[in-house]
Structure 1
Amino acid sequence: TGVASGIAQWENNAFPGDRLDQLDVTNGQVFVQKVDGPVQFFAQLGAYSLPDLGSPYIRSGKATGNFYGAFPQWFVKYAPNDSMSVLAGNLPTLIGAEYTFSFENVNVERGLLWNQENAVNRGVQVNYTTGPLALSFSWNDGFFSNRYSWLWGSATYTINPSNIVAFIGGGSVNTETVSSAVTPLYQNNEQIYNVIYTHTSGPWTLVPYIQYTSVPSDPQLGTAQRASTFGAALLATYALDGGYSVAGRVEYISSTGDANAGAPSLIYGPGSNAWSLTITPTYQKGVFFARGELSYVKATSTTPGFAFGPTGTNTSQTRLLVETGILF
Structure 2
Amino acid sequence: MFCGISIASVANASPLTLPNPLTFSAGPLGKIDVQGIASGMAFYQDNPQGSAGTLGAKHVGADITNGMVIIQKENGPIQFYIQAGAYSFPTLASSLTSATNTISAYGALPMAYLKIVPSSHFSVEIGKLPSLIGVEDAFTYQNINIERGLLWDMEPTVSRGIQFNASEGPLSASLSWNDGYYTNRYNVMTGSLSYALNASNTLGFYAQGPLGKVHENHNPLGNESQIYGVDYEYSSGPWMIEPYFQYMHTPKAPLLGVTHAFDNYGGAILADYSFTNTLSLGARTEYLEVGGRPGEGLNSNDIASSLTDLPADSHAWSITLTPTYQSGGFFARAELSYVTASCPTGYGFSGANGTNTTQLRGMVETGFMF
**TM-score, normalised via structure 2 length:** 0.85
1:201 is aligned to 2:266: no
- Determine the C-alpha separation between the residues in 1 that align with 2:236 and 2:121: 28
1:35 is aligned to 2:74: yes
1:275 is aligned to 2:310: no
Equivalent residue number for residue 104 of structure 1 = 142
Contact 1:140 1:149 in 2 (8 A): yes
Question: What amino acid does structure 1 have at the position aligned with 2:50?
Answer: P
- Determine the C-alpha separation between the residues in 1 that align with 2:36 and 2:261: 43
Equivalent residue number for residue 343 of structure 2 = 301
Report the alpha carbon displacement of residue 306 of structure 1 after superposing the two structures with TM. 4.6
Equivalent residue number for residue 324 of structure 1 = 366
- Determine the C-alpha separation between the residues in 2 that align with 1:28 and 1:260: 38
Moved more, 295-304 or 26-35: 295-304
- Determine the C-alpha separation between the residues in 2 that align with 1:90 and 1:242: 34
Closer/same/farther in 2, CA of residues 100 and 313 from structure 1, 3 Å limit: same
Show the 5 A alignment for 1:36-55. Answer: 36-55=75-94
Contact 2:216 2:256 in 1 (8 A): no
Contact 1:175 1:220 in 2 (8 A): no
Report the alpha carbon displacement of residue 91 of structure 1 after superposing the two structures with TM. 0.2
- Determine the C-alpha separation between the residues in 1 that align with 2:123 and 2:268: 31
Aligned residues, how many?
Answer: 324
SS at match of 2:107: coil
Closer/same/farther in 2, CA of residues 20 and 88 from structure 1, 3 Å limit: same
Equivalent residue number for residue 218 of structure 1 = 253
Report the alpha carbon displacement of residue 131 of structure 1 after superposing the two structures with TM. 1.1
Moved more, 225-234 or 306-315: 306-315
- Determine the C-alpha separation between the residues in 2 that align with 1:170 and 1:94: 9
Question: What amino acid does structure 1 have at the position aligned with 2:68?
Answer: Q
Contact 2:348 2:356 in 1 (8 A): no
Contact 2:216 2:255 in 1 (8 A): no
Equivalent residue number for residue 192 of structure 1 = 227
- Any unmatched runs of 5+ in structure 1? none
Contact 1:225 1:264 in 2 (8 A): no
Equivalent residue number for residue 232 of structure 1 = 267
Give deviations 1:107-156, integer Å, cap 9, x for gaps: 00000000110010000000011111001000000010000010021111
- Determine the C-alpha separation between the residues in 1 that align with 2:213 and 2:195: 32
Contact 2:47 2:352 in 1 (8 A): yes
SS at match of 1:115: helix
Contact 1:304 1:312 in 2 (8 A): no
Moved more, 91-100 or 254-263: 254-263
Moved more, 238-247 or 279-288: 238-247
SS at match of 2:202: strand
1:11 is aligned to 2:49: no
Equivalent residue number for residue 24 of structure 2 = none
Question: What amino acid does structure 2 have at the position aligned with 1:288?
Answer: F
Report the alpha carbon displacement of residue 304 of structure 1 after superposing the two structures with TM. 2.9
- Determine the C-alpha separation between the residues in 2 that align with 1:264 and 1:30: 36
- Determine the C-alpha separation between the residues in 1 that align with 2:180 and 2:216: 11
Contact 2:233 2:242 in 1 (8 A): yes
Question: What amino acid does structure 1 have at the position aligned with 2:354?
Answer: G
Equivalent residue number for residue 26 of structure 2 = none
Contact 1:30 1:46 in 2 (8 A): yes
- Determine the C-alpha separation between the residues in 2 that align with 1:24 and 1:5: 9
Give deviations 1:174-197, integer Å, cap 9, x for gaps: 2324668xx6x4223210011010
- Determine the C-alpha separation between the residues in 1 that align with 2:284 and 2:111: 26
1:147 to 185, 190, 196: 185
- Determine the C-alpha separation between the residues in 2 that align with 1:283 and 1:220: 51
Question: What amino acid does structure 1 have at the position aligned with 2:333?
Answer: R
- Determine the C-alpha separation between the residues in 2 that align with 1:306 and 1:250: 20
Report the alpha carbon displacement of residue 171 of structure 1 after superposing the two structures with TM. 1.7
SS at match of 1:230: strand
Report the alpha carbon displacement of residue 103 of structure 1 after superposing the two structures with TM. 0.6
Report % sequence identity. 43
Report the alpha carbon displacement of residue 200 of structure 1 after superposing the two structures with TM. 1.0
Show the 5 A alignment for 1:52-67. Answer: 52-65=91-104, 67=105
Show the 5 A alignment for 1:123-162. Answer: 123-162=161-200
Question: What amino acid does structure 2 have at the position aligned with 1:308?
Answer: S
Give deviations 1:64-107, integer Å, cap 9, x for gaps: 02x10000000000000000000000001100010000010110
